[in-house]
Every structure is written in C-alpha cells, then in structure tokens.
Chain A
Amino acid sequence: MRKIICFIATVAVLSFSANVAMAKSDMVDIKGSDTLINVVQKLAEIYMKGHPGSTISVTGGGSGTGIAALVNGKCDIADASRGIKPKEVEDANTRGVDPKRVVIAIDGLSIITNAQNPITKLTVDDVGKLYRGDVKSWKELGGNDTPINLYGRQSNSGTYDFMKEVVMKGEYSPNMKSMNGNAQIVEAVKQDLGGVGYVGVGYVKDTTGINVLQVAANPSLGYFSPTNSMDVKSGKYPITRPLNQYLNGEPKGAARDFIIFELSSEGQEIIENEGFFAIPQEYQRYNNDLLGRSGEPEAKGTKYSVNGRDGN
C-alpha cells in the first residue's frame, strides 16, 4: 500500500518538474469569444508549429469572459466579437489595466433559418422584431404558419451583446433558447423547421441544412449576403462587425509576435479559409499604429465603412 502511494507521488512530482523546466515567458494565454475560438485556435496551432518553443493556450467562455479575465489580470489576450464596454474600461482602469484593441478579422453576422423555411431575406428591422419577440409566427413575415423558435447565445457572448445593441435595439425575448456556442445554434436550427439563429459567418461555411438569409438595412438599397466577401467588406451587408483582440497596454513580447502573425498575409489567409474575412486597409493602418509599425499596409480590399458598433 505504501509502495503504491510512493509510486503515485513520484509520478506526480516527476510530471510536474519535467514541465517546470520549460520557460514560462513564452506562454500566451488567450481567452474569450466563442465566435473567434475556432479560428484563433487554428492560428495558434500553425504558429506553434512554425515557432517551436512557443506556447499559446486558447480558451473560450464568451467575449464577456475574456474581457473579464483581462480585467482581472488572468489572461494576455482577450478575444472579443464586440467592442469593450465603457463600464469594463472603467473597471479595468481601476485595476491598473489599460485595454488596447487589435482588429484581426471582419465578420458578417449571419442570420440562419432551417433549410425548409421558404423565407430567404429579411430587413434588419425584421430580425430585430424576431429576437425582441414582437412576432410569434413566420406567417407574420410572409412565410409559413409555423411558430418561431429563437436560438441565441448566452449573456457572456459578444455576439449576444452585438445583436442586442446593433440589430434589436431592445431586450431579448425571454423565450429565446440560450445555447452554449455557435455550433449548437447551427445544430438546433438544422433540426427545427421554425428555428432561427445568429452565428458568425465562419460557422455557415460548407454547412448544409440551413439557409443563410440575405439582409437589408433598407429594402430599397438591396439585400446582401454575409457570405459575399465584397459586400461584407464594403459595408453593404448591414450586420458586419470587427473581431477584436484586447490586450493590457501595447502588445509586447510573445503576444505581439503572435498578433503580427495573425495580421500577416499567411494569418489573414487562414482567417479567410475559416470563413471570416481579412481586415481592410483602415484597420490595417490602425493596427500598425498600435503595434508601432510603419509602412503602407497591403491593399486587400476596397474602402470600407463600418456599419456596426465599433466600440472605441
């Protein structure tokens, strides 16, 4: 019996000390947005393959969780699919944290419905009505007489906040089912004839069983799809948003190296492969200023105007 205990203790001690040898300064701790987690994990994996010795850990939890962790000093980079709120900036400052933002990708927040739902386009107002609970049946929007089943995220999600502030301009209907993440929303809408959900555009790429609705800010100006890169980057698709990473102060050291990778053409290509969109020139300039880099950014798209809430 004693021998077994000694054995277990030895194994535990050994497995710790083997790892303590690794330098801790190279570690980057990223927490936050579920919208971003897939693509940032991919970026981290590829970065670590190309830079042996570096360690990047990526955890989810929602944009709110990430920013809270940054404010509490518990992570290096906070992934956020929304802008930081004034109250969060205040909290941060009282703790001596100075949040700085980097924009790594552009998202066209996609409204999805079941593949058998005949409706293919809606106005931003209609989407707001759906999620505020002002309409109960698809008939009211010109579809079948099926009850509307709302799927959304939880309050820790940046996407949840973004929808509320920008599209709904009101509170969520209490009948909305709060799912844990983008993937769950997609699964739910696939199985629910009356379902509707909102997910980052990276989650609708190559997905069957759902319709990605075309959305118009103003019907007379036309309906646009979030899967069309031109329409998203030019701002024609009305529900676009920057995908952000927040740090404490200007990026330094290992975190800065990783961010530079994310913003490089290789990194931006990975982002596009995952279904999101590369950042246009204005954001490249803004990022370069933050990183203290000079030189003209590579021209990647046409001039871009932000239609969503920016946060800064």
Chain B
Amino acid sequence: MIKKKQLTQMLGFNLLRICALLVILILAAILYDIISKGIGVISWRFLTTIPTDGMTKGGILPAIIGTFLVTVITAILAIPLGMGCAIYLNEYAKDSIITRLIRMSIRNLSGVPSIVYGLFGVILFVQLMNIGACVLSAGLTLGLMTLPWTITASEEALKNVPDSYREGALALGATKWQTIKTNVLPYAVPGMLTGTILGLSRAAGETAPILFTGAAFYLPYLPRSLFDQFMALPYHLYIMSTQHHSITKVRPIAYGTALVLIALIFTMNLFAVILRYKLRKVKTE
C-alpha cells in the first residue's frame, strides 16, 4: 500500500518535470532554429544597407529604422498616459464606481486582440483624423495597445514606494501633488520605466496593428516625416516568408530578419532587467 503511494508520487513528479522540460525544450528549439539559420546572414552590411534586386539581396536597414521610429512614437503616447493613469489609480483614486470602471477597462484592453487595435487605428487615425497610413498612425495605434501594460507596470512601481515616504512629506505640510512629485515619483519612475520598456519591446514585435496603419512592402527611402509610410521588422519577416515573389530564395533573409527582431526584443528586455537590478541595489543602499 505504501509502496503504491510512493510509486504514484514518483511517477507524478516525473510527469511534472517532463512538462517543465518540454517547455524549456520548446524555447530551445525556437532559439536554436532561428539563431543557427539566421546568424550566417547577419553582417554589418545586412544591418546597414537597403534591400536591392527585388529584395533578394542587400540588407534590412529601412525595417530596423522603421521599427525604431514607430517604437519611439509608441513610447511618446504610452509613457505619459500610462504613468498618469497609474498615478491617478494609486495616489488619488478612492474605491468608487469610477475607479472600478477604470480598472475593468484596463483589464479588458489588455485582452483586446491586436488586429482589433489595428481596425480601431484605421478608423480613428487613418480615416477620421485623416492622418493617413504612416509612422504616426501606426505609432499611436501601438501606443494604445501598450497602454494597459505601462499602466500596470507603473502602478506596481508606485505601490512599491513605501507609504511612509508620502506620510512624511504630508506631515511636513506638502500638498498632495508636491508629495507625489518629490517623494514618490523619483523612486517610482525607474520602476515605471522598466515595465514600460518591456511593454515597448512587445510593441516592437507586433505586426497586426501596423498592417493597415502604415507598414509598407518596399520603400526605397527612409521615412522622411511622421506622415510617411515605413518598413518594419515584423512586417518584413511576414512578407519575406509569404508574399515575396521568390520565397525560397529569400528564406535566409527571412531568418536574418527574425534573428534581428528577437535580438532587439531580447536586448530591450535585458536592459529592463539590468535596470530593475540596479534599482534594487539603489534602494537597499
């Protein structure tokens, strides 16, 4: 009787171990495939020249720049609005219907499919506001999509600031805003930025929201203003692997693009993690 219990436990534990191992193996397989088949294509030339010969040769510079530019616009929208909303929720809001409504909206917005954000972007930015399909529209659309992320991360950071900091300032006669400005924000902003960078790294890899709000198949020039279309890494990977007129020939370029994309995302994540680590050190000093 006892032996059976032990046996079941052993089998059960190993089953769970296998589950975890499978997950790790999946990631390993993904990274191995992309790195091994993409690394051969990466070169300084690949990263700094434009595609030529019907995009069968050359590099992916416009896609890298395009992704960079659209991510900057995303940040400009998502950071202030995200921080502001988090400040309201954590510092000002009392438990009322409005507060619960705001929180419910945030949770729901984070579950809205990326293509629906794309549709919204088309209606609002491309058509109603008549900005057209460009860096600005795509950036604003991605910004809205990143909002729930930045709000949640910012709120976490604000929560981590001990209440004693606030009480101390208030006790000295500071107003609420002064308290926030001098005693809360300086300690929370680094944490807010960490979470935001993670959110931005997600935005950089998104394709569906930019499909119809500004991403282009091939442009022989870099975007000259916010109102130009742009090439982008995720969209470039998509067209290189599906719509290009010789997809087997450009398969290596597709792998290279995929590698650059995940390298970019990984670097942003690493940056955020290092930032988080450095902050913990500062706090404990």
Query: Which residues on A are within 8 Å of B, measured CB to CB?
Result: 1, 8-9, 12, 15-16, 19-20, 22, 24, 27, 34, 37-38, 41-42, 44-45, 48, 55-61, 74, 180-184, 187, 203
Contacts and interface: CB of A to CB of B under 8 A. Distances in A.
Contact of A55 (B221, B229, B239): B221
B36 interface: no
B242 A181 contact: yes
Contacts of A61: 217
Contacts of A12: 68-69, 72
B247 to A, nearest CB: 5
Interface of B: 52-55, 65, 68-69, 72, 132-133, 189-190, 193, 216-226, 229, 239, 242-248
A57 B224 contact: no
Given A1-B190, A42-B54, A60-B217, A22 B242 contact: no
A24 B245 contact: no
Contacts of A37: 217, 245
Contacts of B248: 187
A176 to B, nearest CB: 17
A250 B50 CA distance: 32
A27 B54 CA distance: 18
- The interface centre, meaning the residue of B218, B221, B245 with most chain A CB atoms within 10 A of its CB, is B245
A16 B246 CA distance: 32
Contact of B216 (A20, A24, A27, A59): A59
A58 to B, nearest CB: 6
Contact of B244 (A22, A48, A57, A183): A183
A203 B245 contact: yes
Contacts of A44: 220
A60 B236 CA distance: 13
A22 B221 contact: yes
A138 B52 CA distance: 41
A220 to B, nearest CB: 37
B243 A180 contact: yes
Contacts of A180: 242-243
Given A16-B225, A19-B221, A34 B190 contact: no
A157 to B, nearest CB: 11
Contacts of B190: 1
Contact of A184 (B189, B216, B219, B247): B247
Given A1-B193, A58-B217, A20 B244 contact: no
A97 B248 CA distance: 39
Contacts of A27: 221
B271 to A, nearest CB: 10
B226 A16 contact: yes
A197 to B, nearest CB: 14
Contact of A74 (B132, B226, B245): B132
Contacts of B189: 1
B125 to A, nearest CB: 14
A22 B224 contact: yes
A183 B245 CA distance: 5
B73 to A, nearest CB: 9
B217 A48 contact: no
Given A1-B193, A41-B55, A182-B245, A24 B224 contact: yes
Nearest to A202: B245
Given A41-B54, A61-B217, 20 more contacts: A1-B189, A1-B190, A8-B72, A16-B69, A16-B224, A16-B225, A19-B221, A22-B221, A24-B224, A37-B217, A44-B220, A45-B54, A57-B219, A58-B218, A59-B217, A74-B132, A180-B243, A181-B242, A184-B243, A184-B247
B220 A38 contact: no
22 contacts: A12-B68, A12-B69, A12-B72, A15-B65, A15-B69, A19-B221, A19-B224, A20-B224, A37-B217, A41-B218, A55-B221, A57-B218, A57-B221, A57-B229, A58-B217, A58-B218, A60-B239, A61-B217, A180-B242, A183-B243, A183-B245, A183-B247
Given A16-B225, A42-B54, A45-B54, A55 B247 contact: no
Contacts of A38: 54, 245
Given A57-B218, A58-B217, A181-B242, A187 B247 contact: yes
B236 to A, nearest CB: 13
A247 to B, nearest CB: 19
Nearest to B219: A57
A57 B133 CA distance: 15
A74 B133 contact: yes
Nearest to A29: B229
Contacts of B132: 74
B250 to A, nearest CB: 9
A19 B229 CA distance: 13
Nearest to A207: B246
A20 B54 contact: no
A136 B244 CA distance: 30
Nearest to B247: A183
A15 B245 contact: no
The 3 closest A-B pairs by CB, nearest first: A19-B224, A59-B217, A38-B245
A48 B220 CA distance: 9
- The interface centre, meaning the residue of A19, A182, A203 with most chain B CB atoms within 10 A of its CB, is A19
Contacts of A19: 221-225
A45 B52 contact: yes
Contacts of A34: 243, 245
Contacts of A16: 69, 223-226
